[in-house]
């Protein structure tokens, strides 16, 4: 009798614990259902669609974010550099290339929960399309890191993992079909502290 009760409790604990852990891992995955990978960047174009998968809706609810609709824009997240290494706040990076067509775009460094990383300086911790200097061919070179850099610089502080969040507002890109041929900027590591 006692053995049956203990086995039942153990089975329930494993089932509930395993189920909760699998849901938590599924919600933490950026490359989940409906995600589109573009080089080192990932987008979830269907997150706010009427037929969005339940995991995308749960992720949006858990993170307290308001996803952009198809007509509003697209959020792209990079968690690794172009060599495949994770992005770290104690490292410096250079984002090089062209940004896809959009009326306005923003770029900021974030923690794993996509909250903005403090800049550690009096400089803003977000860059916008209106406040950067473009190269002659229309491309960009943006330095990201703690040490100040000439030209376009996105200041970060602290240490640990980070992501880069590029949000395109009022862009002609929508759904997976519009994203297939897009070339995203590269994220190149230029050095690390310690």
CATH number for the domain that contains residue 81: 2.60.120.600
- The verdict on residue 3 lying in a domain is no
* 94 neighbors 150 (Cβ within 8 angstroms): no
Q: Which domain holds residue 159?
A: 36-53+66-192
CA distance 165 to 102: 15
Tell me, what's the pLDDT at 55? 66
Pair of tokens at residue 73: 């824009």
Express each pLDDT in 122-172 by its tens digit. Answer: 666 889 989 899 999 989 999 998 888 888 999 888 888 999 999 888 877
* 139 within a domain of the structure (yes/no): yes
Could you tell me if residue 78 is inside a domain?
A: yes
Q: Rounded CA gap, 51 and 62, in Å? A: 18
Residue 120, domain member (yes or no): yes
Number of domains the chain is built from: 1
Residue 8 lies in a domain: no
Q: To 5 degrees, how large is the angle CA 116–CA 180–CA 186? A: 45
For the chain, percent helix, then strand, then coil, each to nearest 5? Answer: 20, 30, 50
What's the whole-model pTM score?
A: 0.75
Residue 188 maps to a domain: yes
pLDDT above 60 for 27: no
Q: In this structure, are strands 186-192 and 91-97 parallel, antiparallel, or unpaired? A: antiparallel
């Amino acid at each position: 009798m006692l053995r049956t009760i203990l086995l039942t409790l153990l089975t329930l604990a494993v089932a509930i614990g395993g189920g909760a852990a699998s849901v938590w891992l599924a919600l933490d995955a950026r490359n989940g259902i409906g995600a589109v990978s573009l080089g080192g960047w990932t987008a979830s174009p269907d997150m706010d669609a009427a037929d969005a998968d339940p995991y995308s809706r749960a992720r949006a609810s858990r993170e307290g974010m308001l996803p952009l609709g198809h007509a509003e824009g697209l959020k792209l997240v990079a968690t690794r550099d172009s060599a495949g290494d994770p992005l770290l706040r104690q490292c410096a990076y250079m984002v090089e290339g062209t940004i896809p067509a959009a009326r306005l775009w923003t770029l900021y460094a974030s923690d794993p929960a996509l909250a903005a990383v403090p800049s550690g300086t009096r400089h803003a911790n977000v860059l916008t399309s209106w406040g950067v200097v473009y190269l002659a061919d229309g491309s960009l070179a943006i330095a990201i890191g703690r040490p100040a850099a000439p030209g376009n610089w996105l200041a970060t502080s602290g240490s640990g993992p980070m992501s880069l969040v590029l949000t395109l507002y009022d862009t002609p890109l929508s759904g997976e079909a519009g994203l297939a041929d897009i070339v995203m900027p590269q994220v190149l590591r230029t050095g690390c502290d310690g």
